[in-house]
């Protein structure tokens, strides 16, 4: 059997060429991607790359051994706190991404109430159905029950529904600023007031909006209240690796006071090695992304962030108008910042996504859930904002003569039902053959993805989750 680990190393040129070859099919930062990419231009990428390499040897595990990590983090967090108008005494932590920020916010709430209200043995959090999936991940990891809050016709959380579902076991209320799917800010003041009234904490997920909404406000735009100036907001998360334009992964979780952040920490002296204290879920952690974030902040400055916010918002308004004036399209909600969702009124929305892909654009097809129908999601950044006229022309052309909405074959849905139930029927399903039948080869979606999207859209959320686990498991088999 041939070893996959070679006996002798290859040259630097060979290794880097292989890496470049691996990346050949990756999504490009070329202004044609309307999801996943957050690009502020060549100069920002260049300085981020230099700073990333310069900082990657520093280990954030021990800021006494690597004092540079403390200086980087304190400077970064001070900037975040200033942007979201935090009060004196507020603190924060640099994390590896929005998911980690959210997990830490939920952990802090859980452990804070373990200490202050130990009678709560089955903690719950009120979570709008539009909140990010990472809150479900945090709940699953930390043993916190989710109580789903309905949304209104604008996809903002219904405060009356949250009030009706409030109990003495609720430790955390969550609101988005904005929600990823629809780009709308939840009624944060009302949710925070409800949380405070009942002695619960209030977390604002500003992972997407934390580096845009403050600059839209500075540009004179009417921004819904969402930050620490709202009474009752106790924690907030904001990602630097999205609209802060830093490399993956760096985010921040901010706390109104140190008592709450203390509950976020983990310390251990009950073993035979060195005593540890971790501010995040990671132990050893490179300072590379943090160093790059600080460099990008220093390079762009407030003025460039305001300029980017203005450019992205102008492009968003233009595309929203295109959607609203194109027969066959419907804007799901007027967004509060530069990401939004739209659907078709007659034709097949997944066919429309395929047509836009064929025209060279990357858009995000999204499935129906709760009050939200199947739709196409767009995220705007400075790069693709320059291409909105070309995108709009292609969108209008692609919408013409769309075929009617279609349903997947009944026998395929029956097969998925077996998968959902588990047991003998599910065990007989060959995952590799199933992916091949769907046209997924080596992790790459086929050029025509509409049949797969229709299938997942028709399936229940439970079945979708099982298929996604099957898919990822097969990719890394």
pLDDT in tens, 149-203: 999 999 999 999 999 999 999 999 999 999 999 999 999 999 999 999 999 999 9
Checking if the pLDDT of 430 tops 80, the result is no
3.30.420.10, 3.40.640.10, 1.10.8.100, 3.30.1370.10: which CATH number matches 50-294? 3.40.640.10
pLDDT at 437: 60
Higher per-residue confidence, 251 vs 59: 251
H-state helical runs in 23-89? 42-55, 67-83
Is pLDDT at 452 greater than 90 in this prediction?
Answer: no
| The token pair that represents 148 in the structure block | 């789903």
Q: Which helix (H) or strand (E) holds 110?
A: helix 98-116
For the chain, residues classed under CATH 3.40.640.10 are 50-294
- Evaluate if residue 309 carries a pLDDT over 70: yes
**Comparing 100 with 4, which gets the higher pLDDT?**
100
Whether the link from the prior residue into 178 is cis, omega within 30° of 0, is yes
Q: Answer yes or no: are the C-beta atoms of 376 and 352 closer than 8 Å.
A: yes
At 428 the pLDDT is: 56
pLDDT interval class at 374 (50, 70, 90) = very high
Which residues have C-beta within 8 Å of that of residue 408, sequence separation ≥ 6? 451, 454, 455, 458
Q: In sequence order, what are the residues at sequence separation of 6 or more whose Cβ sits closer than 8 angstroms to the Cβ of residue 75?
A: 294
The chain-wide mean pLDDT, for the chain, equals 91
């Amino acid at each position: 059997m041939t070893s996959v680990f070679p006996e002798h190393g290859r040259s630097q040129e060979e290794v880097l060429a292989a890496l470049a070859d691996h990346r050949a099919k990756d999504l490009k930062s070329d202004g044609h991607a309307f999801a996943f990419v957050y690009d502020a231009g060549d100069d920002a990428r260049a300085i981020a790359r230099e700073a990333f390499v310069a900082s990657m040897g520093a280990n954030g595990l021990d800021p006494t051994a690597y004092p540079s990590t403390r200086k980087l983090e304190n400077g970064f967090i001070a900037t975040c706190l200033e942007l979201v108008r935090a009060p004196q005494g507020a603190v924060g932590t640099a994390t590896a991404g929005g998911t980690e920020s959210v997990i830490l916010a939920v952990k802090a709430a859980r452990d804070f109430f373990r200490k202050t209200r130990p009678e709560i043995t089955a903690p719950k959090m009120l979570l709008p159905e539009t909140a990010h999936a990472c809150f479900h991940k945090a709940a699953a990891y930390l043993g916190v029950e989710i109580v789903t809050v309905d949304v209104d016709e604008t996809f903002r959380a219904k405060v009356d529904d949250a009030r009706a579902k409030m109990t003495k076991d609720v430790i955390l209320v969550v609101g988005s600023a904005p929600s990823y799917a629809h780009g709308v800010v939840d009624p944060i003041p009302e949710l925070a007031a409800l949380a405070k009234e009942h002695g619960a904490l209030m977390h604002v997920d500003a992972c997407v909006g934390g580096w845009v909404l403050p600059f839209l406000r500075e540009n004179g735009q009417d921004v819904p209240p969402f930050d620490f100036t709202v009474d009752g907001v106790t924690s907030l998360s904001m990602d630097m690796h999205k609209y802060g334009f830093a490399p993956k992964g760096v985010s921040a979780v901010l706390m109104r006071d140190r008592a709450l952040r203390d509950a976020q920490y983990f310390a251990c002296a009950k073993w035979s090695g060195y005593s540890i204290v971790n501010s995040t879920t990671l132990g050893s952690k490179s300072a590379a992304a943090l160093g790059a974030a600080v460099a990008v902040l220093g390079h762009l400055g407030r003025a460039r962030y305001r300029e980017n916010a203005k450019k992205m918002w102008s492009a968003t308004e233009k595309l929203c108008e295109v959607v609203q004036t194109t027969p066959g399209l419907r804007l799901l909600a007027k967004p509060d910042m530069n990401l939004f969702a739209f659907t078709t009124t007659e034709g097949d929305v997944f066919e429309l996504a395929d047509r836009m892909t064929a025209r060279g654009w990357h858009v995000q097809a999204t499935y129906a859930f709760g009050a939200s129908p199947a739709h196409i999601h767009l995220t705007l950044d400075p790069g693709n904002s320059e291409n909105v006229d070309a995108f709009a022309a292609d969108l209008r052309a692609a919408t013409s003569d769309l075929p009617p909405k279609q349903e997947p074959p009944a026998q395929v849905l029956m097969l998925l039902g077996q998968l959902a139930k588990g047991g003998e029927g599910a065990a007989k399903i060959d995952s590799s053959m199933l992916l091949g039948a769907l046209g997924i080869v080596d992790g790459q979606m086929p050029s025509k993805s509409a049949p797969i999207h229709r299938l997942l859209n028709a399936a229940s959320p439970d079945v979708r989750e099982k298929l996604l686990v099957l898919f990822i498991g097969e990719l890394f088999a």
